[in-house]
Every structure is written in structure tokens, then in C-alpha cells.
Structure 1
Amino acid sequence: MKRIFMLILCMLLSHWIIAQNTFRAKVTSDQTKAILKGATATIPNLKIAISADTSGLIVIPNIPNGKFEIDVTYVGFSKSEKVYSFPQKNPDQTIEIVLEPSTGELAEVTVQTTRTNQSLRDIPTRIEALSLEELDEKSTMRPGDIKMLLGETTGIHVQQTSVVSGSSSFRIQGLDSRYTQLLQDGMPLYSGFSGNLSLLQVSPLDLKQVEFIKGSASTLYGGGAIAGLVNLISKIPEKTPELTFLLNGTSANGVDASGYYSRKWQHIGTTIFGSYNYNGAYDPSNTGLSAIPQIKRFTINPKIYLYMDEDNSGWFGVNTTYENRLGGDMQVIDGKADNVHQYFERNKTFRFSTQLSFTHKIDEESRVNFKNTIGYFDRQLSEAGFNFKGKQLSSFSELNYVRNGEKASWVAGANLITDNFTATPPQSSLNYNLTTLGAFVQNTYKANNWFSLESGLRLDDNTPPPNKPANGLFILPRVNALFKLTSHLTSRIGGGFGYKMPTLFNDQSEQDGYQNIKPLNTGNTQAEQSYGLNGDLNYRHALGSEAFISVNQLFFYTKVDRPLILQNNTFINAPGHLTTQGTETNIKLVMDELVFYLGYTYTNTKQHFNGLTNTQPLTPKNQLSFDATYEIEGSFRFGAESFYTGSQLLSDGTTGRDYITFGLLVQKMWKHLDIFINAENLTDQRQTKWGSIYTGSITNPNFGDIYAPLDGIIVNAGIRIKLLN
């Protein structure tokens, strides 16, 4: 009997020993396929937790027979929860576990502006990105344009250039709008004359991501990006078709209706965006002048995508916008003009451009890209007793080579940019023509796990050339370095040269409506040349399993030699230079469904002309923003935000007062339907409360600087219908 008992015990013991199983898995990112070293695998029932090694491999030994849930987590990524049966059919198999980026600041973001499609965390150039989720929120707050989207971004200031028509430009780090670039999918659709009104004619509904570079971005995008650039990344067709309609109405007599459709088949895909935007003239202060003009705008943007095979793909798109914008005296807008009420400002614009992109994949590491855009822009600006009409024909073509190696990545190429502006008589003397041929090379070298260096060089030749010393030829070096000091703390430092060719199209001429401006003699005018430095510290950390904090501190400095200024209706080079310096602070705290954001910008921009130093007008030194959002994904969203804009010097030597605005958003989401209501400027801050916005008579008003809102409290509400999603 004793022998039988011992035999049974040995058999059970041997079975238990044999039943010990080993689980092997490799953890990677869904977007970039990068190895997620340090990912954690947990078997809750067995109280086992193992971390992945440097190759992303997880090995869990001594697992008994049965079914066990294994959870895999990594900071900034959604958790993988899956039940596995042991013993496995193939015990030596290494399972691949792919984690998707989670929402929140720590999610992994892939950027396109650098051409290498790398993770945001691994690029030495400092880039900020607004994700699709954030754009989804912005599209319900202001569906008709991206003015609010840019205006609520730290370090960017939106400046209204017309009192009655609402035209606006944006400034980065205190520099005039002519020192910035607005791109669509890496192409300059909104440069020169066509840049006017661009903020007010782009809808966020068909955007997937918005990327910002603040500071010199000369290597890939030319010298004009002295202050930085904004790259609008369009949505692309996915396997799951999308059909979305958005209807919106505002308390300021506005209506927006837009639709977006996308679908991808095996070898072809398409996206189609269309919108109609209307706004009746709106005068909340009863000044007799429109704070918001009468607007009628149509937009249609179709694209077709071709996936010929694994190595060749491309797309072609068309962007078309027509707008009739009428502001001024409310009686004139209503068709009741008389001898006293005559003032108006009408902008009729037609925008048409094509976009072409083709990519050939050479091997797993390298590819060749070609892209082209041709743009036509027709604008007629009419005022009482004055009419200015012009047409712009521009083009951009680029061929580049990209290689992403394990240690080094290369981007090299050449581009050709043409810009031709023709004014209708009697302003034909303002005609403008410029051709730029550029070549560039950029290398990103990952020396080790904690240090990467990005260096670039660009050579541009401009025709017709400006005055000496450059004579149209510019060499633009740029260097950026990334230091991963710890797993939570990184730092970037860099700088570069830039330049801007003389042009009539800037904030000053736009504010003056191009009246009485004398022709620009490019050959007798020097190009503006710049030197810029940026440095930042970025801290990211997980506070438990559901909370994240991100802190970014940026320092910047830019000097612009001999900037172009308007003097006696003539653009000349100023006798001196312009400097801007300051800091940006961004703090984001994510606590499961609750997100807090705090942003602060300090900007000190000075004019150093004729040995004297003066503060640049219309540049607030202090700006502060706070945002709190509570969201149950796919169900409910509530947001509250507040913005402080500090006092600023005005062109007449007076000081514009500081002010605070406040807004609220409530959104309820179902599978196929969203309902939202949003309120802006609940503190009803209006410049017209603090004094008159013009001098002279209502017949011929002389407007001062606009430094605060004119439209007061605005409430909008609407629905978004998702038929396919």
C-alpha cells in the first residue's frame, strides 16, 4: 500500500513539474513598430509581474496549466488584456503584442513635418502637435475656421488686421506674420498674397493633426520660416469608411454646414470635404459698424489616393474656396446707404489649388518623394472710393530622398518655388514676381540612447535678387540636439539662420488696405536676415496607472537684421535690427477622464532702430491660458477654459488694457450622433467698452489698433452626424 501511495505521489509531482509553462512575448508600438523596452506584463491570479528587456522581450516562466489573463502595460499606451491557455500549442512561440497609444500627453505621436515620420519624442527639433482628439474638440468650438485653434496655442498670437471685415494673421514668438509659414500637408498653399484671410478660410473638420515648429525651420522649408511654421495635416482614407456631417449655428447670426467622406479600397481611396459658411453682419456694441462682417463662403476639397503596389503610392487633390465678405457701416450692409452712411469694406476671393504627392519605396529604409502644388488666388478689395484687385499664380515643386537608418536618418532634396502677383490697373506698379531655387540636406544622428544630433544646410537662389550683401544667394545652416537625461527628463537646444525676401504682403499693408502704398523696388531693398536660438526642458511622468503629467519649459531668442518697415507709404529697410526673446511654459495633467492644461508665454520684442530701443507695438508681454476637460470617451465631454492677455503698446503710443476671457463647452456623444453647445468670451470683453475704435466721422472712419475682441459673448450649438464610422 505504501508503495502504491508513493507511486501516485511521484506521478502527481512529475505532472506538476512538467506542467510548468513559459510565456514569451515581444511588445511593440502599433504606430511606429518601435520596441517598448520596460513594458510590464502581469498575471493577476498568480501575482506575477515581469518587465520587458532592452529588446522588448518578456519571459514569464513557471506558469501552471490552465487559463490566465495576462495584462501588458506601458506608459502612454493603452493596456493589453488577454486570456491565454496553457500549455500552449506552440510552447516555443514568441507572441507579438502591439500596444496602441493612449489619449493624453504621454501618447506616442508620429510627426510628418520633418519628413522622416518619426516619433515626436525622438526628434531633436522641438515640434508640438495637436492630435485628432484635440481637433475634434476644436471643430465643435469653431467649425468654420482655424483662428481659434491657433489663437489658443501657447506662443502664438492672432492679430486682427481689419476692424470691420475680421481679417487676421498669426504671429509666433512676437514676430510679424510674414516671418511664419502656413502649410497644408507640407506644401505652401497660403503664401504671399494668398496668405491673407487664410486663417478664416480653413476648416478643422478634415484635419488629422496640426504640427507646430517655433523658431527657425529653414532647412526643409526655406528662409521664410524665421519665426516658425504651422503644418496642417489632412485626414487620409482608412479601411473603415467615414461619412460625417456637421451643422452649427451661432448667436452672432452664423451658420456652418460641412461634410467629410473618406474610404479606402485595395488600390484606390478618396476623401471629400465640402462646406458652406454664412454669417450675417453682427454689431453687439451698437457702434453702427460690423464686429463680424456678412460672410458667404463655399469650399470643396476632393482627393484621390492610389496604392499601386507595396512600393508605389500617391495622391492628387484640389482645394477650392469662394468667399464674399462684406463689412463696414451696418446701414450700407443692409442696403440703406445715404450721404452719411457710406463706409464699407468688401473682400471677394476665389482660391483654387492642386496638390500632387508621389512616393516610391526603394527598400525598407529609404524612399523617394515628389510633391507639387499650383495655386491661383483672386482677390478684390473694395472700399468707399477705392478698389484694389490682384491675382496670384504660385507653384511649389520638390523632389526629396529620405533614408531612415538605425543610427542615422537623411533627408536631401531640391525645390522650386514661384510666386507671381499681378495687380489690376491703376495699381499695376505693385506687380510682384519671385523665383526661388533651393537645395537642402539634413541628417539626424542617434549617437546613443541619450543623445541625438540633427544638422542641416540649405542653399537658396532668388530671382530677381535683392540688394547687397546677399544678392539673392543665401546659405542657411541649422543644428538641433536632443538629450534624454533620464527616462522622464529630456532637453532640446538648437538654432539656425533664416531670411525673408522683400514683399508688400504683410500686416501693415493689410491693415492699410493697400491704399497709397508705393511700389517695392526689390533690387534696392535688402532681404531680412535672422539668427535664432531655442532651448527647452521637457518632463514626463506617470502618476500611477491612470494619471500623467507633462511639463515643458521653452526659452527662445531671435534677431532680425534690417527688418522691412513702412515709412511714408514706402517699404524700406529699418536702420537697425529687431529682437524677440522670451519663455513658454506648458503643463498638462491627465487624471483618467480629467485633463488640466496651463500655458504661459512671456514675449519681449524690441525694435533697435537708429541707436534707440523701443517696444514693438501689438505684442503682449504676458499671456496665460487655462483649460480643464472632463471626458468619458465616446460618451460625454465638458470643458472650461480661460485666457489672460496682458497690456500691450499700441501704434499711437498709448497702451491697450489687459483682459480675461472665459469659455465653456458641453458635448454629448453617441455612436452616430454628437450634440454640442459652446460659449466663448463669457466675460463679454470688448474693446468698444473701453473707448471708440475709430476717430473722425462714421462716413470716413480712421481706425486704431485692434488688441481685444470686438464680438463679445458668442454661443454656438450644433450636431455632428457620423453615418459611417
Structure 2
Amino acid sequence: MKLSKLLYSICIALLSHAALAQDGSISGSLSSNGSPIVSANVGLLNTPYGDVADENGAFRIQKVPFGRYTLVVSMVGFERISQSIQVSASNPDLTLNFELKEKVNALEDVVVSGTLKEVSKLESPVPVEVYTQKFFKANPTPSIFESLQNVNGVRPQLNCNVCNTGDIHINGLEGPYTMVLIDGMPIVSGLSTVYGLTGIPQSLIERVEIVKGPASTLYGSEAVGGLINIITKKPGNAPQTSVDIFATDWGEVNTDIGLKYNLGKRAQSLLGINYFNYQNPIDNNGDNFTDLTLQNRISIFNKINFQRKDNRVFSIAGRYVYEDRWGGEMQWNSENRGGTDVYGESIFTSRWETFGIYQLPTSELLNFQFSANGHVQDSFYGDTSYDADQYVAFGQLTWNKTMGNHDIVAGTVYRYTYYDDNTPATFNTDSNENNPSRIHLPGAFIQDEISLKPNNKLLLGLRYDYNSIHGSIVTPRVNYKWNSANKRNILRISAGNGYRVANVFTEDHAALSGARTVEFAGELSPETSWNTNINFVKKFYTSNSTFIGLDATAFYTYFTNRILPDYETDPNKIIYSNLDGNSISRGISLNVDMSWESGLKINGGLTVMDVTVEENGERTRQILTESVQGVWSVGYKFRNGIQVDYTGNLYGPMRLPLLGELDDRPAESPWFSIQNIQLTKKFGNKWEVYGGVKNLLNFTPADNSIARAFDPFDRNVTFGNDGQVIPTPNNPNGLTFDPTYVYASNQGIRGFLGLRFTVQ
């Protein structure tokens, strides 16, 4: 009896063990927008059971013991899926099909710059590049001006070796052809072209949108080469407190502070403060001139969003910037300002801005956008005084309406510009009186975005402006977009017209710096350009779980009436005139984004361009324009939480402005590269420490970039009756003092250390 009970117990135990040892399987498929997802990882959390999706997106996990699990689906570029499942005797073979959703990345970012209305980048018929705050954190800088050095096809260009003012080149076109906006408003223009990109608190920047090619149909004058739209954070989305401080071993200190607070129950406000200070004269190249301009700058920004009925928009913002900068001979001090004993360039800048948007309380979508700014500059370039005042008022009423497959945006615009200075630009020689410039610029525009088919869009636009000086100006545009059904292939074709009315003294401070005098060859007419470009975007996922995104563009711009500074006809002059011929900017660019499940990310870009000027039947390469530009950013986060970022750029040779045939300085710049590395470590959710090295290769231009730096007032230069330099034994090359031979900063290698504090 006992033996039979023992045998019975053993049988029950074996049967129970057999039941427990039973297993099943999990199979299914993965897709996104109707296309299979290849090489995605499918696994059971905290177990060795898993599979990789095949070329059809199918997966199968076999011999899974009965039990409850968490199934995880992961793939680079897609949102992670976690789902609780149970494999049991009643359901041993599970079949699960998943639709993966792509992560919100650069292609799905909301953009406004291309069409004046919010639309996902994927759907925009106008190619718009988007760069978030995370992109700029990989190489922290004191200003957005310097941050753009790692954007493909965009180059911050210094225009003066002494005062270090500069502008932004897009596809080889000079800064005045680039319109810079803040929250869609034309704030940075005219006098502030060389200063307006400094002093914007970067902690308040949400993203930067870049459109390459004319955008005058929507934005009017100045948007000839492209536009840069700096989008600030909405108070509701900003951290409660953010502080970012870093310093370099050169003595630079930059501080960004952001604070969010409520104004009553119906308004949220965002305050930003930027302070930059550098007061450490350095002369590493031994020319007795400061390698880096000394600066003391403060910027205060405040943005207020009001809550209104039916979620109508009302936002207003303001910014004030004050800057004191100087560069020059090492022994210069404030007592030498404007004198002829010691050469220095000293600039006091005071600037205010206000801008906003108000949605009208109507059934139609009507938005009124407005801005105003004032800019006062008190400066000396050696003993040359330049005092200028500029005030700009801007208003724009837009109407947006969808009718069937037509999405229409129309608007009326008015812009008033007042400009006065102490140069010949605002002096009436006939009456011998000062004559400030006052320009009225009313206009109207309309664009129609037509959805031809689900995968095809056509955008047509037309703008009319009436310039109170130059008369009527018409700018058309056309854009076409096609995308594949899975939206992994996008083709955009664009063509358009741009125009610009130039004011030399507000845009080109080389016209003031040094010993050259300015000459105008006749009345300057508005510049016009025609542009076409083809853009193709491709994204795909490889068999080793790698995401690759490609963005390729071919561009062509044809200019007439272009205004170019002539440095070569007379080495003592800068001659401005409309080009009696044409200018062409053409090239190709490629951006590549790659990311892996491991956390490694690589971004790279290459632009090859040819920017030429043809006059009197002779075609030459434009001065200070590289033929090749490359950029890269490599980021990797280790398991211990340390993030490493390696960024850099590469520039091909540029033709440089020489002072004559005897000038023995190189006619072209060398190939050069600026490379940086940074380590970042987070401590909890609030603190972040970062540091690294900038300009790892310690590249600086040649020591003789400033011609005759030892004689800045040309006391020992002999001039003939025609104003030309006469070579002498102590000046055999016939040179004069000239700081315009500049293509890169004189600031060499330096270390930096920073701290961020954020309270959400």
C-alpha cells in the first residue's frame, strides 16, 4: 500500500513537472505606414528569449516557457513598444502584429519658416532645416553667431581682424543676403546685421530653422540668399529655472539665465538674461593687435503669452542689448578713443526690440504680427567716427484659409525704416545738409498650397512691394513636393525670385575699418536674384539596426544688379556699384544622419559650391568664398552617463583681398579645420557639468593678416598725386594698413568648463 502511494506521488510530480516544462511560441510582424520594419529587436524583458525581424518584418520566438512576460520591440528611429503578454496552455502560440510609430525627429519637427504657418517638416513643400538646442549644446558658444559654424552650407564670416564683427554666409552668399528673424519677425537687419546674432540668450532658444535660397515672396527684402529663424521657447514649455555658465582659459565668461513666472492667472512670462565678458588682451601672433576683440555685453529678453478665449494666440516679447567692444593695438585704452596716437576700434551699441503676434477675435484665422526696433551706435574706427541711428517698424496681417485641397495664406505688410549717420550715405551734397533715409515699404502677398494627390503638393506664391525710393518690386515662387507612401522618400523642387535694397554702411563695416575710403559708382539699384534647387530626402534602416537619413540638395542662383565691394581696382578704396554683368552661386550639398541602438550618433555634411562674378566678359571667383565646406558631429553616451561630443568643420581655399600686385601675402587661404571635443556628465535631473577643448588643431591665420600693423595711420606710406601708393625702400610692396584680409578667427586652442542647472 505504501509502495503504491509512493509510485502515485512520483507520477503526479513528474506530470506536474512536465506541465510546468511546457512551452509555446510568439510570432508576428512589424510594420510602419504599410512597410515592413526590418532588423527590429523583439524580445522578452529580462530573459534570453528574442528574435530579429526579417526582410518581411516577420519574427518568431520559439520554446518560450509558459508564463507572464513583458514583450519589448525596439528599433532605431521608432518609439519603443512594451506590452504585457502571457504564454499558457490555453494559448501556447501567440500571434502579434505591431504598427511602429516613428520617433519625432528632424523630419517631423513643426516648422513655420517655409510657409508662414505651422506645418510638420515632413509635409512642408519648402525644404527647411531644423536645429534644436541639443545640437548646439554639443559645442557651446557665447552666441548663436558662432554656433552656426557646425551647420552645413552656413559659415560665420569675420569681416574685420580688429573689431571682429561678422555676418552669416549661406551657400557662399554674404551676410546681407541672409535675413535673420526672431519668432518669425524681421528683427536682425540693417545696422544689427553684424551685431544682432550676439546677445540672444541661448537657454531660451527652442530651435533654429534655416531656409536656403530666396524667401522674398514671404519675407520681402533681404531674404535673397536665405533666412535664419530663431524660434524662442513658449513660456509654458520652458523650465522653471535654467542657468548655464561657462568660461574659457582665455578669460571669456558667458552666463545664460532663464526664469519662468506667472503674471496673474492669464499670462505666463519667460525672462532671459545673457551676460558675456572678455577683458583679457592677448597677442599670440605678435602683430601688437588684439587677437580677440574685448567685449562687455548684456542682453535682457522677456516673452509673455496671454491665455485667451478659444485658445486664440497673443504673445509679445522684448529684448534690450548693450555692448561695449574694442580691438586694436595692445596699448590702447579708452583715453585713445578717436585719437591718432594709438589705433583702436571702439563700438558702443545700444539696441531695443519688441515683437509679437495677436490673433483677431473673428471666425476667420487672422493674425496680426508686429515688431519695432531701435539701434544706436557710437563708434570709432581709428580716428574715423561712425555714429548711426536706425529705427524700424513692421506690421503684417495674415489670413489663412483651407478650401478643399487649397490651403491659402495671404497678407498685407508695411515696413518703415529710418536711418541716419554721419557718413556721406545720409548727406545731401547739393544742399550741404544732413538727409536721413526714410523708406516706406508697403506690400501684399498670397500663396496657395495645393494638395494634388495624397503624395503630391504644389505651392504657388506671389508678392508685390512698393519701395518709396525704388518703386514696384514683384517676387514670385513655386514649390513642388512628392513623397512615397511610407514617407521615407521626399522630393522637393523649388524656384523663386529675391530682391534686396542695400545700405552699405549698415551692412559692411569693412567700409569703415582701416585706411580705405569709400566710393559709390552711381546710384545703387535693388539687387535681384533667381534661384532654383532640387532637394531629396531618403531615410532607411539597415540590417544591423542602424538608422540612416540622407538629405541632398542641388542649388543654382543667378544675380543681376548685384552690389559687390571692389577692393582690387584701388588699394586705398572700397568701390561700391551695381555689377555690370551677373553673379552665379551654384553647388550641391549632402547631409547624413546616422544613429545606432547603442547610442552612437553621427551627423555629417558636405557642400561643394562655385560662386563666381562675371563683369566685362571676365569671370572670377568671389572673394572670401570657399569652394568646399564640411561639417561633422559625433556623439556617444557611455553607460556611466558621460556624453562625449566631437564636432568640427573643414573649409577649402578662399580668394582673399590683396592690396595690389606687389602684395606678397598669399592670394588664397589654406585648407583649414576647426575641431572641438566636449565631455558632459549629468548629476540627477538638475545638474550638468561639461568641459572640453576648442580648436584642437590650434589653427590661426598667418601672422601678417593685418597689412602694416606697425603703421596703422599710414604715417610712413608715400602716396602719389593719383592717390596710389608709391613703393619705397621701407615699403617695397606698396602696402597700406588694412585689416580686411581675414577669413578665420585669430583665437587659437583653448579649454572650457561649464555648469548647467535646470529646474523643470
TM bucket (normalised to shorter chain) is 0.7 to 0.9
**Counterpart secondary structure, 2:117:** coil
What is the identity, as a one-letter code, of the residue corresponding to 1:345? Answer: E
Unaligned runs of 5+ in 2: 1-30, 54-65, 88-97, 428-434, 567-572, 661-666, 714-736
Matches of 1:641 and 1:675, distance apart in 2 = 18
**Counterpart secondary structure, 2:755:** strand
**Counterpart secondary structure, 1:649:** coil
Matches of 1:263 and 1:134, distance apart in 2 = 27
Find the counterpart in structure 2 of residue 636 from structure 1: 642
In the TM superposition, what is the alpha-carbon distance from 1:397 to its structure 2 partner? Answer: 0.7
In the TM superposition, what is the alpha-carbon distance from 1:404 to its structure 2 partner? Answer: 5.1
What is the identity, as a one-letter code, of the residue corresponding to 1:353? Answer: E
Instruction: Give yes or no for the alignment of 1:595 onto 2:604.
Output: no
In the TM superposition, what is the alpha-carbon distance from 1:238 to its structure 2 partner? Answer: 2.2
Q: When the two structures are superposed, what TM-score results if normalisation uses the length of structure 1?
A: 0.83
Find the counterpart in structure 2 of residue 231 from structure 1: 229
Find the counterpart in structure 2 of residue 131 from structure 1: 132
Instruction: Give yes or no for the alignment of 1:679 onto 2:693.
Output: yes
* Shift in alpha-carbon separation, 1:474–1:677, aligned structure 2, 3 A: same
Structure whose CA Rg is larger: 2
Matches of 2:620 and 2:237, distance apart in 1 = 57
* Shift in alpha-carbon separation, 1:145–1:634, aligned structure 2, 3 A: farther
Find the counterpart in structure 2 of residue 618 from structure 1: 624
Matches of 1:338 and 1:569, distance apart in 2 = 22
**CA contact 1:534–1:555 (8 Å) conserved in 2:** yes
What is the identity, as a one-letter code, of the residue corresponding to 1:197? Answer: Y
Find the counterpart in structure 2 of residue 695 from structure 1: 708
Find the counterpart in structure 2 of residue 54 from structure 1: none
Instruction: Give yes or no for the alignment of 1:663 onto 2:661.
Output: no
Matches of 2:669 and 2:133, distance apart in 1 = 36
CA deviation profile, 1:333-362 (whole Å, cap 9, x unmatched): 487999996000001000101112112476
Q: When the two structures are superposed, what TM-score results if normalisation uses the length of structure 2?
A: 0.79
Matches of 2:678 and 2:52, distance apart in 1 = 41
Find the counterpart in structure 2 of residue 145 from structure 1: 143
Matches within 5 A, 1:129-528: 129-138=130-139, 141-142=140-141, 144-238=142-236, 241-263=239-261, 267-280=266-279, 281-333=281-333, 342-360=342-360, 367-403=365-401, 407-424=405-422, 428-429=426-427, 431-465=436-470, 472-485=471-484, 487=486, 488-505=488-505, 508-513=508-513, 516-517=517-518, 524-528=523-527
**Counterpart secondary structure, 2:197:** helix
Find the counterpart in structure 2 of residue 576 from structure 1: 581
**Counterpart secondary structure, 1:171:** strand
* Shift in alpha-carbon separation, 1:694–1:81, aligned structure 2, 3 A: same
Find the counterpart in structure 1 of residue 753 from structure 2: 717
Matches of 1:36 and 1:413, distance apart in 2 = 36
**CA contact 2:41–2:75 (8 Å) conserved in 1:** no
Find the counterpart in structure 2 of residue 62 from structure 1: none
* Shift in alpha-carbon separation, 1:425–1:338, aligned structure 2, 3 A: closer
Instruction: Quote the sequence identity (%).
Output: 21
Matches of 1:463 and 1:39, distance apart in 2 = 59
Matches of 1:634 and 1:215, distance apart in 2 = 44
Matches of 1:709 and 1:565, distance apart in 2 = 23
In the TM superposition, what is the alpha-carbon distance from 1:632 to its structure 2 partner? Answer: 5.9
In the TM superposition, what is the alpha-carbon distance from 1:81 to its structure 2 partner? Answer: 2.6
CA deviation profile, 1:260-287 (whole Å, cap 9, x unmatched): 0125686321100012110023323232
**Counterpart secondary structure, 2:284:** coil
Matches of 1:404 and 1:338, distance apart in 2 = 59
Find the counterpart in structure 2 of residue 3 from structure 1: none
Matches of 2:168 and 2:408, distance apart in 1 = 32
Moved more, 179-188 or 417-426: 417-426
Matches of 1:607 and 1:492, distance apart in 2 = 28
* Shift in alpha-carbon separation, 1:83–1:673, aligned structure 2, 3 A: same
What is the identity, as a one-letter code, of the residue corresponding to 1:584? Answer: S
CA deviation profile, 1:101-140 (whole Å, cap 9, x unmatched): 74765x62111212221111111111100023223434xx
Matches of 2:355 and 2:591, distance apart in 1 = 35
What is the identity, as a one-letter code, of the residue corresponding to 2:528? Answer: Q
In the TM superposition, what is the alpha-carbon distance from 1:508 to its structure 2 partner? Answer: 4.2
**CA contact 1:539–1:552 (8 Å) conserved in 2:** yes
In the TM superposition, what is the alpha-carbon distance from 1:320 to its structure 2 partner? Answer: 0.3
**CA contact 2:481–2:492 (8 Å) conserved in 1:** yes
Matches of 2:473 and 2:701, distance apart in 1 = 43
In the TM superposition, what is the alpha-carbon distance from 1:548 to its structure 2 partner? Answer: 1.1
**CA contact 1:695–1:703 (8 Å) conserved in 2:** no
**Counterpart secondary structure, 1:194:** helix
Matches of 2:33 and 2:692, distance apart in 1 = 40
**Counterpart secondary structure, 1:284:** coil
Moved more, 708-717 or 530-539: 708-717
What is the identity, as a one-letter code, of the residue corresponding to 2:285? Answer: S
Matches of 1:382 and 1:554, distance apart in 2 = 43
Moved more, 36-45 or 122-131: 36-45
**Counterpart secondary structure, 1:151:** helix
Query: How large is the RMSD of aligned CA atoms in angstroms?
Result: 3.4
**CA contact 1:194–1:392 (8 Å) conserved in 2:** no
* Shift in alpha-carbon separation, 1:544–1:148, aligned structure 2, 3 A: farther
Matches of 1:583 and 1:248, distance apart in 2 = 37
Find the counterpart in structure 2 of residue 22 from structure 1: none
CA deviation profile, 1:576-628 (whole Å, cap 9, x unmatched): 11111011111111113111122111110111111211111110101122221
Matches of 2:337 and 2:322, distance apart in 1 = 26
In the TM superposition, what is the alpha-carbon distance from 1:708 to its structure 2 partner? Answer: 2.6
